[in-house]
């Protein structure tokens, strides 16, 4: 009997140890997944920094001038009339302060100084805002890892997986945190800046694509053009509708966007026609009335507008 009791105690102790190890393994598994996401983000940043088209300023410091550049400077002819010489333009070179140390250009020049400083700092705050909106955080920094581990230890794996699905990703507020901080930091930012490398997409247009209601509201308050259309013919309103960004759709309509916009030039179909034939579901996956259609109607969208086949929104 004594041996049986001892074995039972050993079994209980082993079970406790197994539970502890499972919890530890679950926590490490979660940490590993977060590290993998961070590594992917860093790899994207490294690829961008190593791109030949990347500005030397965007890498943190200006690179020292190359020998080729120095040779080109020496070979350049001296203007006959010194007074007619063009003013020196900023170019790549080491930024050295009075102590002889390299200086971060973003610190060396005040952000609100004259616009010529933008030549020394790549595209400035506007490009930083666009980059921040395109690369939101991938995880929820407030995720309760302890609770997640406890669910796994208790064998409630389905609940743990549901927790990952509902709470593992960042909230909309967390995704807008950095863009809003950049807007506060740069009050003189151009709200109508467009990214020529990405179909002339504007800051407001991208905010509407992402559903960043607070960012869109701030950009509109600063004078962003709500009717901007990119090089592919996509407007801010069409982008917001396509991504089901209902709050952004409402902001744009209140800013007097064209409620009867024709989104498809080939078929002459309006946004209302598109919204009328799209099935909409709520966050629970249940069929629900399309709120975008409701907004378009509330802002006096034309219900009798016809496409190239003579069909109205009701017929769609």
Q: Is the pLDDT of residue 204 over 90?
A: yes
The reported pLDDT for the residue numbered 208 is: 94
Higher pLDDT, 227 or 42: 227
Contact (Cβ atoms closer than 8 angstroms) between residue 48 and residue 54: yes
Predicted structure pTM score:
0.58
Domain residue limits, the chain: 1-40+141-169
Rounded-to-integer distance, Cα 311 and Cα 316, Å: 7
Contact (Cβ atoms closer than 8 angstroms) between residue 231 and residue 200: yes
Which residue, 267, 315, 274, is CA-closest to 293?
Answer: 274
**Residue 255 — very low, low, confident or very high, per pLDDT cuts 50/70/90?**
very high
**Residue 2 — very low, low, confident or very high, per pLDDT cuts 50/70/90?**
confident
Q: For residue range 22-72, what is the model confidence (pLDDT) as tens digits?
A: 777 777 776 777 677 777 766 665 665 555 444 433 333 333 334 333 444
Q: Is the pLDDT of residue 21 over 80?
A: no
**Residue 82 — very low, low, confident or very high, per pLDDT cuts 50/70/90?**
very low
Q: For residue range 141-195, what is the model confidence (pLDDT) as tens digits?
A: 777 777 877 877 788 888 878 877 777 778 888 899 999 999 999 999 999 999 9
Mean pLDDT over each residue of the chain, to the nearest integer: 74
Tokens of 123: 């595209």
Q: For residue range 288-316, what is the model confidence (pLDDT) as tens digits?
A: 788 999 999 999 988 888 888 888 887 77
Q: Helix, strand, or coil here: 122?
A: coil
The reported pLDDT for the residue numbered 102 is: 52
The reported pLDDT for the residue numbered 119 is: 41
Mean per-residue pLDDT, 105-125: 50
Mean per-residue pLDDT, 196-202: 89
- 13-17, 107-111, 141-145: the lowest-pLDDT one: 107-111
């Amino acid at each position: 009997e004594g041996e049986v009791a001892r074995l039972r105690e050993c079994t209980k102790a082993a079970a406790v140890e197994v539970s502890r190890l499972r919890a530890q393994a679950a926590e490490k598994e979660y940490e590993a997944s977060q590290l993998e996401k961070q590594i992917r983000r860093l790899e994207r940043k490294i690829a961008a920094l190593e791109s030949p088209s990347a500005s030397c300023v965007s890498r943190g410091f200006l690179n020292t001038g190359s020998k080729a550049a120095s040779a080109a400077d020496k070979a350049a002819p001296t203007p006959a009339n010194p007074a007619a010489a063009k003013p020196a333009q900023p170019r790549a070179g080491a930024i050295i302060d009075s102590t002889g140390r390299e200086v971060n250009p973003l610190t060396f020049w005040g952000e609100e100084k004259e616009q010529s400083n933008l030549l020394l700092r790549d595209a400035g705050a506007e490009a930083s805002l666009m980059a921040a909106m395109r690369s939101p955080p991938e995880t929820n920094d407030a995720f309760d890892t302890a609770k997640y581990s406890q669910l796994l230890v208790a064998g409630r794996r389905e609940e743990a997986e549901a927790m990952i699905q509902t709470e593992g990703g960042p909230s909309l507020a967390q995704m807008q945190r950095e863009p809003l901080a950049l807007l506060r930091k740069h009050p003189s930012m151009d709200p109508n800046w467009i990214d020529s490398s990405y179909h002339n997409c504007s800051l407001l247009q991208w905010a509407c694509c992402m559903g960043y209601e607070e960012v869109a509201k701030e950009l509109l308050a600063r004078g962003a053009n709500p009717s901007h259309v990119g090089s592919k013919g996509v407007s801010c309103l069409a982008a917001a509708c396509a991504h089901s960004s209902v709050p952004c759709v409402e902001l744009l309509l209140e800013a007097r966007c064209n409620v009867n916009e024709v989104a498809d030039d080939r078929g002459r179909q309006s946004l209302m026609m598109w919204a009328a034939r799209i099935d909409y579901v709520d966050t629970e996956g249940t069929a629900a009335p399309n709120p975008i259609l409701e907004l378009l109607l509330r802002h006096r969208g034309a219900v009798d507008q016809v496409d190239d086949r003579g069909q109205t929104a009701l017929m769609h």
